[in-house]
Structure 1
Amino acid sequence: MKVLITGAAGQLGRALKETAPAGITIHAVDIADCDLTDGTAIAALVSNAAPDLIINAAAYTAVDKAESDEQTAHAINADAVAALVTAHRGKLVHVSTDFVFDGASSRPYRPEDTRNPLSVYGSTKAKGEDHLRGTDLLVRTSWVYTAGGANFVRTMLRLMAEKDELRVVSDQIGTPTWAPGLAKAIWGLVAANAAGAFHHSDAGVASWYDFAVAIQEEAHALGLLDRSVPIIPISSAGYPTPARRPAFSLLDCSATRELLDDGHTHWRTNLRHMLRAEKHFG
């Protein structure tokens, strides 16, 4: 099976290439290969690649920047999805985000729950979802990170080495997701010929503060940090940002886990995997 992967240089794109099952031929592209703000270029890409399946791992993910750059965010997160659907008769696997929800739920969000995004990023990702057909596959995820990527874990490692104290938001709740685990789940859903909406994150629950504390503890144990600094929990109000984040964006991944029997790996276990790999980038 020939699979076209967009966003191939990103965290998930790299993980999809590294975890591809036997029998998969990958045609991987990133921004240097195709301008996803250009519908004509997208049509040409799909025509030339002639894939059996497309996995759209590309996205405009600069959440705060999107508030002042809505046009570009919409072009990549929404219009490009429409162009891929128009150009490709086969299945499209589209990766979306927990930010399509408003965080007002008292339980983890199910795939069929009503969306109510709070930010331009979330809104444009929701609009991208709206272009999918019933035969396509939507996979929502949260807080993605991997070794060598641009993400919260690596930012924390840098700041922990530079600062004498960190203040981290403690009232935004969700779950970190290791990109290789997400990639394997996507390949598993593809193999199962799944269609419709599914959720995948690592197991467990965390605030950004919890995540930061775990990063420092695990990194120190592995020798990635030679000291520990105080980490102080603060409210979202104490760290204002241009884009509003959902206070609670835990995803209900039960349908995905039941279909794949994936073992329910806890986020802290995958954090250790990532940090071990991160030592090679140090």
Structure 2
Amino acid sequence: MWALRFSRQTVIAAVEVMEGTFQTHEELTRVLLKFGSALNQNCNAGSLSRRFNHLISFYDADPEHKTDDGGFLQDAIVEKGVLLLPVFESSETPEYSEVQQTLLRMLRLDGFEVKERNIQRTLPEELKLPQAQDQVIRLLDAHNFATSKGHFDQALDAHARGNWASANAQLRVFFESLLDEIAIKLDPGAEHLASSENRREMLASKGFLDEQLNEWGNGGKNFINGLWKRLHPQGPHPGLSDEDDSTFRRHLVLLTTRLLLMRFDTWPP
């Protein structure tokens, strides 16, 4: 099965770069015709803005849609968005619009960077970051982890806007909330425990958090507690963060929560 190269958020960011660049219907029509005649027919009605919405809807309905040249639509959209980014001389300070910055941030989250309008991988493909995010969202919805899903959505939104402190805070709350909700799903009585720490202890006692893998135990010197401390090294009210640090936290939480959600999805083993 084909593996997603980019996340949905990256595809939408690329569409928004196109929308912020194209001034006429003819410009959009030319690009859509290059993507495929069927695509142009489905995105040919309404205002220019509405046609871009049709493009996103078309992609959502069939993320694996192929263009007429045999490539994938999502790749074509993202590559077009990147080609529309400005190129700066080495002596210049890059100045990108808000939508252009969002596209660059979304690509970095997917494990890519842009150099002179070329997309280059920065993280191993084996991490499958777009698939991991899609899977986390799907499992949160499937198991009705509504509170956790809300915090996750807010973390994604804050990160897309470049609000690192807010993104960091929501990631920590999401991680805590997810473990709380998993504990309560496994044992409704966990809702009445005194703290989240107690609920994590309960998850370890049931074997959900594996002490043999150092996920829990060892006098607090374990993976879960280590990750918890890394998310907010300055306590519940962290100082300012930068993009690299916030992205690192997001990747840590994304990959860890995918593992836990996949485990919950097949629990008991």
TM-score by length of 2: 0.30
Which one has more relative contact order, counting CA pairs under 8 Å at least 6 apart?
A: 1
The structure with the greater share of residues assigned to strand is 1
TM-score by length of 1: 0.29
Which protein has the larger Cα radius of gyration, Structure 1 or Structure 2? 2
The structure with the greater share of residues assigned to helix is 2
